[in-house]
Amino acid sequence: MRLDHTDQQLINHFQRHLPVCERPYLEMSRQLGISEQEVIERLQSLQSRDVVGRVGSVFEHSQAGASLLAAVAAPEEQMDLVAARINRAPGVNHNYAREHTYNLWFVITAPDHELLEEHLDELERELKLSMLRLPMVEGYHIDLGFDIDWEALS
């Protein structure tokens, strides 16, 4: 999707450090040289076009609760079905098909480890597929947002 220069600037500047003050969108608008109302409208538009998922916070997994990366090897012809079932489990927030014997990869979160394991046990029983459970041991670089290469996209 092609974005205009102002949308690009909005993304370039505010993937992190959103202002925390009474009128944050006004503060952002001053940096971009547009009106507060336009910032709000552009954010709404970016969300409706599914370019921006949300304006908000990314919590640190290890502090925010329990989370892990899991994978199953689903029969090729049942992938959509298995993926849909995984999405119905509580706390699944990423779920991707990947090119590998383990072809469905998902991130699942819960308030604590016990609940997380319970949810996975239930899912494993229901799917009748063995599951890789891969908790994070150490993060070296975790979702800080990254600079978009607009040229490569154009």
Looking at the Cβ atoms of 125 and 146, the one nearer to other proteins is 146
Q: Applying CB under 8 A, which of residues 6, 9, 11, 32 lies at the interface with other proteins?
A: 11
CA distance 85 to 61: 24
Q: Applying CB under 8 A, which of residues 78, 81, 121, 139 lies at the interface with other proteins?
A: 139
Q: Does residue number 65 form part of the binding site for other proteins (CB under 8 A)?
A: yes
- With beta carbons less than 8 A apart as the criterion, state whether 106 and 70 touch: yes
User: CA–CA distance from 4 to each of 9, 11, 76, 127 (Å)?
Assistant: 9, 11, 40, 45
Looking at the Cβ atoms of 33 and 154, the one nearer to other proteins is 154
Q: Applying CB under 8 A, which of residues 93, 113, 121, 122 lies at the interface with other proteins?
A: 93
Least spacing, CB of residue 79 vs other proteins, in Å: 8
- With beta carbons less than 8 A apart as the criterion, state whether 83 and 104 touch: yes
- With beta carbons less than 8 A apart as the criterion, state whether 79 and 97 touch: yes
Q: Does residue number 129 form part of the binding site for other proteins (CB under 8 A)?
A: no
